[in-house]
Structure 1
Amino acid sequence: MTQPAHRPSVVTIPRGDGSAWRMEVHDRLGSTSDLSKARLEAGEGADGVAILALEQTAGRGSRGREWCDPGGNLALSIMLVGQGALVPVGLWPFIAGLALHDAIAGYVPAGHALELKWPNDLLLDGCKMAGILIESGIGPGVSWQVIGIGANLRGKPDIAGRTLACLADCGGDVPDAPEVARAILHHLDLWLSRYRANGFGAIRTAWLERGHAIGTSIRVTAGNRQFIGTFAGLGDDGILLLRTPEGVRRVVTGDVLMVPAHPE
């Protein structure tokens, strides 16, 4: 396992159940999720440990895409082991998405729109500013999950054909990555508590309140197939419901793109 070159600082963040998050803050890493996975696969990971990189050089997004970091942004991965990994992996994008949304919302000035996009993106004024990557596996005798979160705070990568957003686009003071990471971990505990008390129904309702509106025109690409329709909500298991001329289609996985309601 590749160890970071410099010893990180460690921040202890109290949790509501009497335990604490242990957040390692690294100056520079290739990938926070890769380091988390390497530790877990070697049996060295622990529940409730978060790894934050102030600079990330080899971040990953969904479907193997690179998540470029021009500097000053958030690169956070959270380890969940044993009891901490009991939430079904398919529900984590919604729980983590709510935590991410609510943490960022506190820094977004009035007049700007922040919304979740199925299954794991956060949009600022209609453009992607953050994403979530959930990975799971089995280490020596224990199951684990890693929640990777990347968010554009102070800058955004230049990617051909895509318009991205960052928090700095809103003007005003931009929080640093450790501050945002603490806020995410705080809200993650709140939403985990609500999930355990009320089940996925409460998560689904809250996600729909913060997500793209019912009736939003979207295009879904799944493999070599493409479907165009309108957002019809979420199933009881978080599946995307897409209303098409042929009826409502249940979408398990795919790339989702917002499209104009009346494309020319």
Structure 2
Amino acid sequence: MTQPAICPSVVSIPRGNGGAWRMEVHDRLGSTSDLCKNRLDAGQGEDGIAILALKQTAGRGSRGREWHDPGGNLALSIMLVGPGAVVPVGLWPFIAGLALHDAMAGYVPPGHALELKWPNDLLLDGRKMAGILIETGTEGGVSWQVIGIGANLRGRPDIAGRALSCLADCGGDVPAAPEMARALLHHLDLWLARYGAHGFDAIRAAWLERGHAIGTPIRVAAGNQQFTGTFAGLEDDGILLLRTSAGVRRVVTGEVLLAPVNRE
């Protein structure tokens, strides 16, 4: 006999603009972002909806990778529609990254390093613990954005060739996913307000304070090309600046690895 669908619990999280995030907490989903996109495709998109899965079985990361969830981690997607989808898509990794960093920082004990990595990763003690996936489109002439965020809280998947971390590696208390999601949405609201008041310059400056330091050795893989250099900052639109032997190079897209530069 088919089991009846379990309705998600719904939590309202106040925002500074007088509105609220409406967070749905699902016990189990394939992909939180796919649920958002399915609703948008069906004409059921709603601005300010956040979908949280306590267990996600088919999560997606950047560049078509799977995002493995061993359970107990954060799998959250935020749906923004119409007037809510006003932030240029290229700026979202920085705004969402700042919110993710600041929400997570409240649970990281002293002695551990939390660092943003261009364009959409969060590192804990030098290893990836969280990532952000931005998707955008138009439905019925109305623009939408889906901000997907996955973070390793209680466990980290075992993936060959990739060094990952989770919040539990630090010891101490690890929040449940709904608590972390609430903290993240709170900080996202703060950074959206700051962006609205001061523009991207304020976001860029804050990201540079929390990101890999100027001079950090970097290797970039972009298509069939690979090149190395050191981090030289961000342009006004968030494009990465890489100092190479041939001068400063603008990196619009690519996979960035914080690795020693081979100077031979």
Q: Compute the TM-score of the two structures, normalised by the length of structure 2.
A: 0.97
Cα RMSD over matched residues? 1.2
Matched residue SS, 1:107 = coil
Say if 2:217 is the partner of 1:217.
yes
For residue 173 of structure 1, what is the amino acid of its counterpart? D
Deviation beyond 2 Å, 4+ runs, structure 1? 260-264
Structure 1 residues 28 and 263, CA gap change in structure 2 (3 angstroms): farther
Q: How far apart are residue 260 of structure 1 and its match?
A: 2.4
Name the CA distance, whole Å, in 2 between partners of 1:261 and 1:226: 12
Matched residue SS, 2:77 = strand
Structure 1 residues 261 and 222, CA gap change in structure 2 (3 angstroms): closer
Name the CA distance, whole Å, in 2 between partners of 1:108 and 1:224: 37
Q: Which residue of 2 aligns with 1:245?
A: 245
Matched residue SS, 2:11 = strand
Say if 2:76 is the partner of 1:76.
yes
Q: How far apart are residue 211 of structure 1 and its match?
A: 0.1
Q: Which residue of 1 aligns with 2:232?
A: 232
Q: Which residue of 2 aligns with 1:113?
A: 113
Say if 2:194 is the partner of 1:194.
yes
CA contact (8 A) 1:42 1:140 kept: no
For residue 245 of structure 2, what is the amino acid of its counterpart? P
Q: How far apart are residue 261 of structure 1 and its match?
A: 5.3
Q: Which residue of 1 aligns with 2:178?
A: 178
Q: How far apart are residue 262 of structure 1 and its match?
A: 6.3
CA contact (8 A) 1:220 1:254 kept: yes
1:33-62 per-residue CA deviation (whole Å, 9 max, x = no partner) reads 000011112210100000000000000000
CA contact (8 A) 1:80 1:146 kept: yes
Q: Which residue of 1 aligns with 2:95?
A: 95
Say if 2:43 is the partner of 1:43.
yes
Q: Which residue of 2 aligns with 1:15?
A: 15
Name the CA distance, whole Å, in 1 between partners of 2:181 and 2:263: 39
Point out the more displaced range, 37-46 or 121-130.
37-46
1:70-114 per-residue CA deviation (whole Å, 9 max, x = no partner) reads 000000000000111010000000000000000000000000000
Q: Which residue of 2 aligns with 1:134?
A: 134
CA contact (8 A) 2:228 2:261 kept: no
Structure 1 residues 29 and 157, CA gap change in structure 2 (3 angstroms): same
Matched residue SS, 1:153 = coil
Name the CA distance, whole Å, in 2 between partners of 1:190 and 1:24: 21
Alignment of 1:154-173 (within 5 A): 154-173=154-173
Q: Compute the TM-score of the two structures, normalised by the length of structure 1.
A: 0.97
Percentage identity across aligned positions? 82
1:106-141 per-residue CA deviation (whole Å, 9 max, x = no partner) reads 000000000000000000000000000000011123
CA contact (8 A) 1:31 1:60 kept: yes
Q: How far apart are residue 6 of structure 1 and its match?
A: 1.9
For residue 45 of structure 1, what is the amino acid of its counterpart? G
CA contact (8 A) 1:41 1:138 kept: no
Name the CA distance, whole Å, in 2 between partners of 1:91 and 1:165: 26
Q: Which residue of 2 aligns with 1:153?
A: 153
Q: How far apart are residue 5 of structure 1 and its match?
A: 3.5
For residue 40 of structure 1, what is the amino acid of its counterpart? L
How many corresponding residue pairs?
Answer: 261
For residue 85 of structure 2, what is the amino acid of its counterpart? A
For residue 191 of structure 1, what is the amino acid of its counterpart? W
Point out the more displaced range, 15-24 or 50-59.
15-24
For residue 249 of structure 1, what is the amino acid of its counterpart? R
CA contact (8 A) 2:229 2:261 kept: no
Name the CA distance, whole Å, in 1 between partners of 2:120 and 2:68: 17
